[in-house]
Amino acid sequence: MRGLTLALAGAALLAVPSPALGAGDPLRSQQYGLDMIEADAARSSSTGAGAVVAIVDSGVRSDHRDLQGRLLQGYDFVEDDADPGVGPGDDGHGTHVLGIAAANTGNGVGVAGVAPGASYLPVRVLDASGSGTTDDVAAGIDYAVAQGAHVINLSLGEQLAVLGTSAAVNGAIDRALDAGRVVVAAAGNSGLPVCEQPSGEGRLLCVGSVDENRRRSFFSSFGDGLGLTAPGGSALLGNDILSTFNEGPDSYTQLAGTSQAAPHVAGVAALLVSKGLRGQAVVARLLATASDAGPPGPDAEYGAGIVNARRAVAGLGSPGGGGGGGGGGDAPAGEPRRGPGSAATIKLRRRNTIRHVLRRGIRARVRAAGRGRARMGARSHGHRLARGVRRVNAERSRVVVARLNRRGRRSLRRALGRERRVALRVRVKAPGARMQLRRVVLRP
């Protein structure tokens, strides 16, 4: 979702002169978000080199001096041309979002980015006022996949509130996920107990916002579908997220929103891509290494917790793609050791027979990224038909079985007698992974 315009009140645009190279980043001290996610500590292990991150948004100010060397040739689906660049008077949202992840670090200019070694693909799908169409958003996502983006960031606007119900956008997201891409989406700024971009069958990474005190931002949507949180500001205290802006090649401003939280996560995802992880392995790693917030363990307010760059890259060995710095070293004390391929994986047959399920239940093979309980349930027409729980250990593969309840056995026997198919919505949750939602069809 878009940064809250309320954040602009009292947040003056900054134009920063250029000190000599090597003087650091003059505005780095104002970026509490990077401190919160421990971005500096991660940078010695990975800068994101070799990763490509698509920012599907309102375009970018390509001559901004803090973004030089970071931008790939993108596309403008609003004007239908190969120039996604924008300038003063255009919506500055895309430039702000991109700078959070991409801004050059240690160049003596402005701010620092989460993944300053990655390459960024600007894809313009929103116009100068921040409005756009779902068809353009869907086309932008497909374009990002075709151009080889490893990570796709969707910090899209209130004007596109229908995204969650758009078949075109949902289809494009599913195609990106099926292609093994990481899709990061802002949870929304409505303060509602549901992620406002719920597509992706549980594979999309929905990001909520926390303020400078590590508390859920009042505006941040939460609850069902939330993956984790990241710094997005408060929109009240004038201490929001500082990043690059459109008003000039040296301009910066503060904005607040889940739009600002999402690129913190996309940047950390790029650090993991540089380490050799891809797709759902990246998602699982981000969730497994998030810093706990709120009540112990995953919860509705914070999901798996607040994204943590240092913990995410720890113990993953040498970075891929020539990424910044030395090897990853040992995992910090108290954190699990995991190799580059560590992630929770869930395998579930999409088609089966009613007779098989009546005899053996619904079965999924789970390889967990942490120790705990794997849970599975199945519903049809809003009714629970089966459920199962099994304790699993990290890096071990186990079969989890959801056994039919009385309603489930009765429904399947009735369908078998009438020779009808049954469609089930199956949810599987394993330690270190988001809830996975799958559609399973049972034939007579």
Active site residue 259: yes
**Catalytic residue among 93, 96, 150, 264, which?**
93
Strand pairing of 383-392 and 397-404?
A: antiparallel
CA 82 to chain centre: 26
> If you average pLDDT over every residue of the chain, what do you get?
85
CATH 2.60.40.2550 fits 345-443, yes or no: yes
Three-class SS state of 345: strand
For residues 285 and 342, the answer to whether their CB atoms sit within 8 Å is: yes
- Say whether pLDDT at 275 is over 90: yes
One DSSP character per residue, 18-46 reads ---TTS--TTGGG-HHHHHTTHHHHHTT-
Q: 395-411 burial by CB neighbour count: b if 16+ within 10 A, else e?
A: beeeebebbbeeebeeb
Output the pLDDT for position 367: 79
Tokens of 32: 């509490």
Strand pairing of 119-124 and 52-57?
A: parallel
Q: Give pTM, 2 decimals.
A: 0.71
In this structure, which amino acid lies at residue 95? T
Q: Out of 26-35, 52-61, 129-138, which region has the weakest mean confidence (pLDDT)?
A: 129-138
How far apart, in whole angstroms, are the C-alpha atoms of residue 267 and residue 153? 9
**Catalytic residue among 57, 90, 91, 250, which?**
57
Tokens of 224: 């069902």
173 exposure class (CB count in 10 Å sphere: 0-12, 13-18, 19+): buried
Active site residue 57: yes
Residues with Cβ within 8 Å of 11's Cβ and at least 6 positions away in sequence, in order, are 238, 240, 253, 254, 255
For residues 108 and 73, the answer to whether their CB atoms sit within 8 Å is: no
Average pLDDT rounded to a whole number, residues 34-48: 96
Q: How far apart are the first and last CA of the chain?
A: 44
Helix residue spans in 165-299 (DSSP H) = 167-178, 258-274, 279-288
CA 88 to chain centre: 29
* Fold exhibited by the domain 5-313: Rossmann fold (3.40.50)
Domains 5-313 and 345-443 share a fold: no
Output the pLDDT for position 370: 63
Output the pLDDT for position 15: 52
Structure letter (DSSP) for residue 115: S
Average pLDDT rounded to a whole number, residues 90-99: 94
pLDDT digits (tens, 9 = 90+) for 363-414: 998 877 666 788 899 998 878 999 999 988 766 788 999 999 999 999 999 9
**Residue carrying structure tokens 């984790």:** 228
Q: 318-349 burial by CB neighbour count: b if 16+ within 10 A, else e?
A: ebbbebbeeebeeeeeeebebebebbbbbebe
Residues with Cβ within 8 Å of 333's Cβ and at least 6 positions away in sequence, in order, are none
Q: Out of 86-95, 155-164, 272-281, which region has the weakest mean confidence (pLDDT)?
A: 155-164
How far apart, in whole angstroms, are the C-alpha atoms of residue 308 and residue 6? 27
**Catalytic residue among 62, 259, 291, 411, which?**
259
What are the boundaries of each domain within the chain?
Answer: 5-313, 345-443
**Band of pLDDT at residue 90, cut at 50, 70 and 90:** confident
